[in-house]
Amino acid sequence: MAVTVRPLRDDELRLYLEIHERAIRGLAVSHYSQDDIEGWVVPATDENLRRLALNADREIRFLAELDGKPVGIGALVLEESELRAVYVSPEGARKGCGSALVQAIERTARDNGVARLALFASLNAEQFYAALGYRSTARTEVVLPNGHRMAGMQMEKDL
Ligand SMILES: CC(C)(COP(=O)(O)OP(=O)(O)OC[C@H]1O[C@@H](n2cnc3c(N)ncnc32)[C@H](O)[C@@H]1OP(=O)(O)O)[C@@H](O)C(=O)NCCC(=O)NCCS
């Protein structure tokens, strides 16, 4: 199966959120409560789509396709040297799409002079990032929009 990664287009924001939601609901439930999941998912409301389009953090976004079908999304914030997001829907999982997204993100970061990338890994994704050379630096948590605290791992990698 052929995996390709390309920049996300401006008219694919709804698709971006759909893949994000499918990945969370399909692949992260083993490690998180229903409250965590509901706080983590970003519903494709007009308000959320507007915020995504505004892109205040200047995320550089990617789309992964498996045999031409969109299955994964990723995001990088250069100013923060942060790998912001990698999500693959269940039907595309364990076929190298997540790794291809990380490779594209790392290449873009390196090309822009970033020497080290940091990320917040959900607990279900820690082994994935470890397999790609990221080291865990601290157990941490983030406060979700619904006020719920979500546990995860701070990780980093020298590029
Ligand atoms: C984490 C995620 C992005 C991985 O995507 P993927 O396309 O399945 O990853 P890959 O196929 O490139 O996997 C590469 C390697 O990572 C490791 N890996 C991936 N998923 C794993 C898992 N669930 N458990 C253990 N190791 C895993 C394996 O070593 C794998 O190689 P292998 O399949 O040859 O054994 C995907 O599971 C996902 O979207 N999860 C839900 C959303 C999420 O948590 N995203 C991260 C937010 S921080």
Dmax over CA atoms of the chain, in Å, equals 40
Alpha-carbon dihedral angle through residues 91, 94, 95, 101, given to the nearest 10 degrees: 100
> Per the domain annotation, does 148 fall within a domain?
no
**Containing domain of residue 96, as a range?**
3-114
> Per the domain annotation, does 34 fall within a domain?
yes
Q: Which two tokens stand for residue 16?
A: 């971006």
Q: Is the CB of 32 under 6 A from ligand 1?
A: no
Q: Is the CB of 154 under 6 A from ligand 1?
A: no
> Per the domain annotation, does 73 fall within a domain?
yes
Regions of the chain with pLDDT less than 70:
none
> If you ran DSSP here, which 8-state letter would residue 32 be given?
S
Which CATH number covers residue 82? 3.40.630.30
Q: What is the pLDDT of residue 139?
A: 97
> Per the domain annotation, does 158 fall within a domain?
no
Q: Is the CB of 75 under 6 A from ligand 1?
A: no
> Per the domain annotation, does 26 fall within a domain?
yes
In contact, 120 and 154? CB cutoff 8 Å? yes
> Per the domain annotation, does 123 fall within a domain?
no
> Per the domain annotation, does 96 fall within a domain?
yes
Q: What is the pLDDT of residue 8?
A: 98
Total domain count, the chain: 1
Q: Is the CB of 71 under 6 A from ligand 1?
A: no
Backbone angles phi, psi at 125, to 5 degrees: -100, 0
Which pTM value belongs to this model? 0.97
Ligand 1 atom at minimum distance from 26 CA: 41
Burial of 119 (0-12, 13-18, 19+ CB in 10 A): buried
> Per the domain annotation, does 145 fall within a domain?
no
- Give 96-129 pLDDT, tens digit per residue: 999 999 999 999 999 999 999 999 999 999 999 9
Q: Which two tokens stand for residue 133?
A: 């050379």
